[in-house]
Amino acid sequence: MTNKTKDKSTVYSSLRIMMISKILVQLLRWCSTFIVIRILVPEDFAITSLAFALAGFLNTFSTFGLGTAVIQAKDITRSQLEVIFGSIVLLNLFLFSLTWGGASYVANFYNMRELEQVLKVFSFNFLIIMFLSIPNSLMTKEMHFKSLGKIEIFSAAVGAITALYLVTHDYGYWTIIFGGMSTTLTKMLLTNIYNPLLLKPRFNYNEVKPFLHFGGYLMLSGIVWQIYVSIDVLIAGKFWPSKELGVYVVALQIAVLPLNKILPTIKQVAMPAYSKIQTDKTLTKIYLLKSLTIAMSFAFPVFFGLASVAELLVPLVLGEKWQLAVNPFMLLCFMMPMRMLAELFSPAINSIGKPHIVFKNELFILVILIPSFLIGLQWGAIGLAASWLTVFPIIALLISYNFCKVLKINLFQIFIIIIPPIIFSIILFLVVKATIIAGSGTFNNIILLAIAIAAGGATYTLLIYLDNKALLREYRQLFFKK
């Protein structure tokens, strides 16, 4: 077996393990999330969404990109790890103090007094992260995805159980905060059990400088990325009443759930895989195009399918009180595959040591999105969701062109990858809508939803079978080959 064949087999095996574990994690989190949403009210999500957006922004500073730098490095010594750990400790102690001390000012800005205590409690996450980053990065670097998958599943289970207990005992918005923190704490403890690493923090700028150069761009890129995925909530939170913000946040949270599970899985496997072959540009391109093909042929039918059943799915799963979230949810679902496309290039670009390219393109995204959000928020949740759908597909194609130039890929190859699933997903959408219209009044909503999903899934599978049987073999290899 050649090295390339071994690498490909390793990538498929790793991706399969992570996908299966992520699916199990997803099922746990979906169940708990939907139960929590049914019980809580929009105002609860308004508070927590602002806390997560603000803390998420600060979280991009928590490792300064050093965790990813560890993964990208060909070789790394214990001495270097100790210096990196020392830098991470300093960063997180500073962020803990900043979040705690600034909580009252943020609460006053948004005129939301509950936000102060939420941010102070959330600041303890930084004390957890500083003991998680390096062990997790080393496990990822060595592609120990079976162990990482077990950790993800158990951590998600702890978070789900915690959230369900709290929401059924009337803890309100604290359910979301403590549910998330319990997941992070469990992940940190288990990661250190699976990969015990006793490091003495040291502080030496000259030793950490090479990693800061690479990690600095990653951090800047992470900052811009965090802003562009949170800026809609941060802007709307200042101008909208809590209920309107809560409706939009829930629509966004449900729409982004598949993306937040599929994309990190691919990136987690892709970064170490690309890093191992970073000197082989041809193989890097092959891996990237293959991952884009698999991801896009999965993303478009999933998100278009969710959009097609939104009118049945949202009231059934979340409850009638979330009816106003149906249209924003549907619009956001149409946009999500293009957001995935835009983000799938970054592991390949980072692995060849060009994180500044990712940073520049994410900065471009942010510059375009902010004015479109300022316009769209005037029409409430639907207007803000429409801003995403109107602008982001164009942005995704433009930055794909930029990334393709760096990787010496013809943009036409990207169109070849995305056009068939787009066409097939539109057909899926129409078939599902026709099924719902035909079955209305004949079946109850639960049965009608099941029939519509089955019709859409069968339609898309048949179209893929007729157009590209090799793709179905790829999925079979990904999920079932030992």
Share above pLDDT 90 across residues of the chain, in percent, rounded to a whole number: 27
Give the pLDDT confidence of 281-292 residue by residue, as tens digits: 667 677 778 878
Confidence of residue 15 (pLDDT cuts 50, 70, 90): low
Give the residue-averaged pLDDT of 322-331. Answer: 93
Give the pLDDT confidence of 119-140 residue by residue, as tens digits: 999 899 989 988 888 788 777 7
Give the residue-averaged pLDDT of 9-20. Answer: 54
Between 381 and 11, the more confident residue is: 381
Give the pLDDT confidence of 270-324 residue by residue, as tens digits: 444 444 545 556 676 777 788 788 888 888 999 999 999 999 999 888 888 899 9
Q: Reply yes or no on whether the pLDDT at 424 is more than 80.
A: yes
Confidence of residue 450 (pLDDT cuts 50, 70, 90): very high
Give the residue-averaged pLDDT of 22-35. Answer: 72
**Could you give phi then psi for residue 443, rounded to 5 degrees?**
-115, 155
Token pair recorded at residue 230: 């949170």
What is the rounded CA–CA span in Å between residue 290 and residue 266? 11
Q: Looking at residue 306, what is its pLDDT? A: 94
Q: What share of the chain is helix, strand, coil (3-state, %, to 5)?
A: 85, 0, 15
Q: Reply yes or no on whether the pLDDT at 211 is more than 80.
A: no
Q: Looking at residue 256, what is its pLDDT? A: 87
Spell out the domain ranges in the chain: 240-482
Q: Looking at residue 265, what is its pLDDT? A: 58
Token pair recorded at residue 194: 């699976």
Q: Reply yes or no on whether the pLDDT at 13 is more than 90.
A: no
Q: Looking at residue 402, what is its pLDDT? A: 86
Residue 331, by phi and psi: left (phi above 0), alpha (psi -120 to 50) or beta? alpha
Q: Looking at residue 271, what is its pLDDT? A: 45
Q: Reply yes or no on whether the pLDDT at 328 is more than 70.
A: yes
Radius of gyration of the chain (CA): 22
72-86, 146-160, 439-453: least confident range: 72-86
Q: Looking at residue 295, what is its pLDDT? A: 83
Give the pLDDT confidence of 141-194 residue by residue, as tens digits: 776 767 777 788 888 888 888 998 998 888 888 998 998 899 999 999 998 888
Give the pLDDT confidence of 340-354 residue by residue, as tens digits: 888 888 777 776 667
Q: Looking at residue 70, what is its pLDDT? A: 65
DSSP secondary structure letter of residue 440 = B
DSSP secondary structure letter of residue 455 = H
Token pair recorded at residue 58: 């600060």
Confidence of residue 40 (pLDDT cuts 50, 70, 90): confident
Q: Looking at residue 476, what is its pLDDT? A: 66
Instruction: Please report, for the chain, how many H helices and E strands are present, in that order.
Output: 20, 0
Between 205 and 109, the more confident residue is: 109
Q: Reply yes or no on whether the pLDDT at 19 is more than 90.
A: no
Q: Reply yes or no on whether the pLDDT at 386 is more than 90.
A: yes
Q: Reply yes or no on whether the pLDDT at 5 is more than 80.
A: no
Confidence of residue 262 (pLDDT cuts 50, 70, 90): low
Alpha helices in 344-379 (DSSP H): 346-351, 355-376
195-199, 300-304, 444-448: least confident range: 195-199
Q: Exposed (0-12), middle (13-18) or buried (19+): which is 190, by Cβ within 10 Å?
A: buried
Please give the model's pTM, rounded to 2 decimal places.
0.76
Share above pLDDT 70 across residues of the chain, in percent, rounded to a whole number: 79
Q: Reply yes or no on whether the pLDDT at 17 is more than 70.
A: no
Residue keyed to tokens 């980053």? 133
Give the residue-averaged pLDDT of 328-340. Answer: 93
Give the residue-averaged pLDDT of 424-431. Answer: 95
